[in-house]
Structures are given as C-alpha cells and as structure tokens.
Structure 1
Amino acid sequence: MSVVLSLSDTVRLTEVLLSVAVIQQSAEHMTRVGAERLIFGVRVLVAFGLLIGDNSGPLVAGVAIAGLFAAELVMLHRFQGPYNGGSSKMTLLIIACLGAYHLAPTERGRELAVAYLAAQLTLSYFVSGYVKVIRHEWRSGRALTDVFRFSAYPVSERLRGWADRPRVLLAMSWGVMGFELVFPLTLLHPLALMAGLFVAAGFHFSNALFFGLNRFFWIWICAYPSILWFQGRVFG
C-alpha cells in the first residue's frame, strides 16, 4: 500500500514536522542566558507560528519560514558555522526549499522546490554510502571499531565493548554502506520506498539511541514527505 500525498499536503506535513523538530532542538537552550537564549527563544516562537500557519493562512506560514531562515543565518554567524553539523545543514535546506515553494509564482516552480528537497534527501544517503565504501577503514570495519573504542559518541561505556566484536562491526559496516548505496533504487516502487524509509528511520533512531545523535533522527524525518510525493509524481 503506497502513500499518496498532494503537493500542498506534502508541504504542510513538512512544515508541521519541521516546527516540532525546531522546537525540540531549541528547547534545551531555554535554560541558558544571554544572546543564545534569545536566539533560540525567537526560534521557538517562529516555529509555533509555522505550526499554526495552516489555520491562519499561507501568509503566516510564509512569514514564519522567512523568520526561521533569518534565525538560521544568525546562528551561522553566532556559532561561526553550522551549529550542529549535518542536522543544521538539513534544517537550513528544508527551510530554504519551503521558502522557495512559497515564493514560486507557478505550480511547476513549487513542484521543483519540493522535488529538489527530495533529490537532496536521496543524495544524502547515496553520497554518504559512496564516501564510506571508497575508504578502506569502512570496508574493513575498522571505522566502526574506532567509533566504539575511541570516540566520545557512545552514550554508555558498555557500548565500547562492541569494539571487541570485529566480525559484527564488519557486517554492520557493509550493511550500512549497502543500504545507503542502493537507497535511490527504492524510488522505483512505492513499497520499496516505504521499506527504505522505514530502514533509514531505524538507522537514525539507532544512532540517536547509541550515540546521542537525536537531532539527525528528527530533522531527516521532516524531509520524508517530500520523497513520498516525489516518487508518486515521477514514478507513480
């Protein structure tokens, strides 16, 4: 069973998910003081505006998107680059694509804005797999071994024991690389895409559970409606 989304429903669902993700990202900073608290506080307020934008009309949603974009630019300056690496880049990408959708004067332009987000989501997996597979340390499983043994990422010291399971980590390495490399092929069928997104969400969830990378889980989920719409629009 496939999921059929209209373009407007896709954008609205993306806006709702983005709002929740931005509020979740910003809430932890409400205990801070000074400029940082102000920046993230404004971010929360603007995200709430986007969350209710559907009931208040497209103008409110458009203004909220512009506000989030401005907040991201302020954060880039404040933190001298992306605040949280890849998740911050994906946040800015989604905001920019939503902004392009609201600014586009034609239906084709609006479709291209959402299609671009779907294409970037697809590439985020494929390129990640390609970068890994050309590196010997990933093909041998050593990269994951080093992550568990030496990095500060594992949220529990007990997880470091996985570094002593080289065969398991080798299988995990090839499992991750294989999935990321074949992900674009899931676009060929709606059921394959649903399965691919389910696996991808599970991958992000495991990273959040084991390594504390929770921001990646929420913000990547925000882009999933775009690829569901794109699959139906291009391959359906």
Structure 2
Amino acid sequence: MNIQLEILSSTKLICGICCIVYALEKLLYKKPMHDLLSWDVLQLRHPIFIKIPIFDKLCSDNGIKIITVIFLIASLISIITDLTFIIIPCYFSIALSLLIFSARSAYGMDGSDQVIFIIATCLLLVYIHNTIITRDIVFSFISLQLLFSYFISGYAKLTAKVWRNGEALFGIMGNDIYGNTYGYNLLSKNIRISRLLSWIVFCWEAFFFVSIFCNQEVFISFIVIGVLFHLTNAIIMGLNTFFLAFISCYFPLIHSYLLLHGHAVFTLQVFDLQILIK
C-alpha cells in the first residue's frame, strides 16, 4: 500500500476511535438539568439561537443527545468504510457536531475538541479531493498545528514561575476535576520530583518542533515520549480524548518528517501501519 494511504488509514482509525470515546463520555455523563451549565442559562450567550427555533432545539438537552448519537454513528461508520460517498457525510457530521457542541458549551472547544475538529475537517477535505497533493498539504497542516500547539504550551509553562518551581504540577494533582490523590500526595511531599517532572514536560513540549529536523532516533524518541505523556495523562487525569486526538496527529507528523528528510531509513509499525523507507 502507498505510504500516504497507510498514514491516512491509521489517522482515520485513531480519529474514529477518539470520536467514539468522546461520544460515549458525553452520553454517559449525567449532569443536573437546571444548573449553571444548562441550556436555559447558556442560551443567553447566543440570542440568535433563541430567535431561530431549529438552533434552540439542537442545543437543548434532548437535541444534544440526538446529535451525540448521530456523532457516534458517524464515527463508527468512518472506521469501517473507505467509500467516498459515505465517509464524506460522516466527517461533515462529525465536524458540524463539534461546532454545535462548542456553541452549547460554556467554555467553547477544549484542546481535544479542537484537535478532533481539525483532523475531521482535514480528513473531509482529503476525501472530497483525494490526491497526492491534497494529502501532502493536509498532513503538513496537521503537523504544523501539532508542533505549534506543543510549542505554545511548553513556552507558556516555561515562562510561568509556578511551573518552573514545580508547584503547578502538584496543584493540578490536587484539582477536583483532573486531580489524583496519590499523585498529589507524592508530589506535594517531594517538591524536587515535581520540579523535575515539570521541567521534563515543558522542555519536551517547547522543543518538540526541533525533533522534526533531527535524525530518526531523536525524532522517534520524541514521539515515544509523547505517547507515554498523553497515556499517563489519560490514566491519571482521565484525559482519554486528549490521548487519542494527539496520537492521531503523530501519523501525519511522520509523513511530514519523511518528506522533509527525503525518505530517511527506518521502519515503524503501529497498528496496521508499517513504513520502510529507503
């Protein structure tokens, strides 16, 4: 199989799994019907939605449930088929659903939502015009988004004193939403470990973009650290969609690395993806 198509297939697979997990988390999460995050309150931010009945119905509690089910079905179908006339509506539905979820949320899109939206939109463009040039452009765009997001995150941490001294990390562990009691107890009592881990995290993020210019060993090392980093966050903090969303970006990044280096020699096998470049 063509390398581009293998990259596309692997990206599509992980993105689909990510969307399924995202949908299931939304469907299984139970929240109060009339709290501060209910549509009764949030609709005040979108007066146009109130004036247009269809928007109001889509963003209601029942409307969001229906959209989430459609999102889940589209995600499942996107994994099992490569038929253009089926997969284009699937990715269109996924991208549109994410926009509605964003309008419905008090916080807009979070990091994983944005990454999923970018990938889904890019895959939609690929299947609308599935050529070598389109795939090159789309994979390069996803790679730039990934490198840019890591750099901004790392730079922001690097310039923040609470990250440099380690306080931010055990502070996150003590958070009610994303925290972990064991992690908080360990890091709060061992500030040096917290500081060391903090420096590892933001140095890896800030200098991740450098890896694409390095030899294959350095590049693969950064990728492996990234997988372990996001997997750890998923296990400790419950950031499952962050893990899957960012990992799905690594396949286009591998393609961009190969383009940049004129096909360096290495073999990488993940799921059904095997690359042997000469």
TM-score strictly above 0.5 = yes
Query: Which has more helix, going by share of residues?
Result: 1
Which residue of 118, 129, 144 maps to 1:119?
144
Cα separation, 2, equivalents of 1:5 and 1:195: 25
Which residue of 10, 17, 33 maps to 1:13?
10
* Residue 22 of structure 1 pairs with residue 47 of structure 2: no
Q: Give the corresponding residue for 2:178.
A: 153
Which residue identity does 1:13 align to in structure 2?
Answer: S
Cα separation, 2, equivalents of 1:21 and 1:106: 25
Q: Give the corresponding residue for 2:127.
A: 102
Q: Contact 2:92–2:124 at 8 Å: present in 1 too?
A: yes
Which residue identity does 1:45 align to in structure 2?
Answer: I
Cα distance, 1:150 vs structure 2: 5.1
Cα separation, 2, equivalents of 1:168 and 1:225: 32
Cα distance, 1:69 vs structure 2: 1.2
Which residue of 31, 35, 39 maps to 2:67?
39
Moved over 4 A (4+): none
Cα distance, 1:89 vs structure 2: 0.8
Q: Contact 2:21–2:240 at 8 Å: present in 1 too?
A: no
Q: Contact 1:128–1:180 at 8 Å: present in 2 too?
A: yes
Which residue of 102, 127, 132 maps to 1:76?
102
Which residue identity does 1:163 align to in structure 2?
Answer: S
Instruction: Compare CA radii of gyration and give the structure with the larger one.
Output: 2
Instruction: Indicate how the Cα distance of structure 1 residues 137 and 46 shifts in structure 2: closer, same or farther if over 3 A, else same.
Output: same
Q: Spell out, residue by residue over 1:139-162, the C-alpha distance to the aligned partner (whole angstroms, 9 max, x if none).
A: 12121232234554223x233212
Q: Spell out, residue by residue over 1:156-196, the C-alpha distance to the aligned partner (whole angstroms, 9 max, x if none).
A: x2332121211111111111111112211221223322221
Q: Contact 1:26–1:43 at 8 Å: present in 2 too?
A: yes
Which residue identity does 1:11 align to in structure 2?
Answer: L
> What are the ranges of 5 or more consecutive residues in structure 1 without an aligned counterpart?
none
* Residue 201 of structure 1 pairs with residue 227 of structure 2: yes
How many residues end up aligned between the 2 structures? 229
Q: Spell out, residue by residue over 1:105-162, the C-alpha distance to the aligned partner (whole angstroms, 9 max, x if none).
A: 753233111110011112221221111111111112121232234554223x233212
- 1:143-222 matched pairs, under 5 angstroms: 143-149=168-174, 152-155=177-180, 157-161=181-185, 162-187=187-212, 188-222=214-248
Percent identical among aligned pairs is: 21
Cα separation, 1, equivalents of 2:174 and 2:117: 33
Which residue identity does 1:35 align to in structure 2?
Answer: G
Q: Contact 1:130–1:181 at 8 Å: present in 2 too?
A: yes
Q: Give the corresponding residue for 2:276.
A: none
Cα distance, 1:60 vs structure 2: 1.9
Cα separation, 1, equivalents of 2:175 and 2:105: 26
The residue matched to 1:223 in structure 2 has which SS?
helix
Cα separation, 1, equivalents of 2:130 and 2:20: 30
Q: Give the corresponding residue for 2:166.
A: 141
Cα distance, 1:29 vs structure 2: 3.5
Task: Let me know the Cα RMSD of the aligned residues.
Answer: 2.2
Cα distance, 1:103 vs structure 2: 3.3
TM-score, normalised to structure 2, is 0.75
> What are the ranges of 5 or more consecutive residues in structure 2 without an aligned counterpart?
31-60, 264-278
Which residue identity does 1:132 align to in structure 2?
Answer: K
TM-score, normalised to structure 1, is 0.88
Cα separation, 2, equivalents of 1:12 and 1:150: 37
Cα distance, 1:214 vs structure 2: 1.9
Which residue identity does 1:17 align to in structure 2?
Answer: I
Which residue identity does 2:249 align to in structure 1?
Answer: A
Q: Contact 2:162–2:168 at 8 Å: present in 1 too?
A: yes
